[in-house]
Amino acid sequence: MQSDMVAWIKAAKAHCAYVVVRTFKDAVCEVGAKKYVSHQTQTAMERLVALHGLATMDDCMGDFLEDGYLDAAGAEFVRVEITALLAELRPDAAALTDAFALDDYFLNSALGATDGDVYARLLYEVQDAPFNKNTPRPGTKRCFGTGYGREWRGRASFRSGLL
């Protein structure tokens, strides 16, 4: 019984992956049949279903190859299709991400913030990074001597004067 435990766990994971893909596909088909969304949105959602299914296969490619469900050509086809789907979905990436309605705190990204102020956020992130707080910049010692470090707090005002 214990010797079969690894196979049982693999089978349970495979079944869960199947249920997720199948439920996703059924939900997208239902939304399309009831015309809840535009044709463009429906097409993007169908591409997402295909991408999720192929990415799941790619994650477990060894199992598909070992059990004979795919050969080397089939594995290559899966990866080529993933790349093609990503290219097809790229124009809709921002809209699809916004559809999840994740807040800025959860995303923790300067690029995906709702206010759209990318450059100010990137500057803040760089200035706030631990490396930039504790490491002297190149040329600091040459310009300011050895008086830099914890006691030197004029960095921010000095930088803002240069901008």
Whether 76 and 23 share a structural domain: yes
Rounded Cα distance between 32 and 15, Å, is: 26
Q: What is the pLDDT of residues 89-117, one digit of tens each?
A: 999 988 887 788 888 788 777 776 777 78
Domain of 97? 2-101
* Same domain as 150, residue 87: no
Q: Is the pTM of this model over 0.75?
A: no
Tokens of 108: 């923790």
Residue 111 lies in a domain: no
The pLDDT tens digits for 24-35 are 999 999 999 998
Boundary of a domain, candidates 58, 76, 101: 101
- Here the CATH number for the domain that contains residue 71 is 1.20.140.10
> Could you tell me the mean pLDDT of each successive run of 10 residues in the chain, 163 residues long?
86 95 96 90 94 96 93 96 96 84 79 78 83 71 60 48 44
Contact 10, 66 (CB under 8 A): no
The DSSP symbol for 137 reads P
In a domain, 106, yes or no: no
Residues 95 and 128 in one domain: no
**Cβ atoms of residues 34 and 26 within 8 Å:** no
Compute the Cα dihedral for 66, 71, 72, 75 and give only its sign.
Answer: negative
Number of domains in the chain: 2
Look at residue 95 in the predicted model and tell me its pLDDT. 84
- Which residue shows structure tokens 């990503």? 86
Q: Quick one: residue 149, left, alpha or beta (phi over 0 = left, psi -120 to 50 = alpha)?
A: left
Kindly state whether residues 72 and 149 are assigned to the same domain: no
User: CA-CA distance, 21 to 97, in Å (whole number)?
Assistant: 19
Q: How far apart (Å, rounded) are the C-alpha atoms in residues 78 and 50?
A: 10
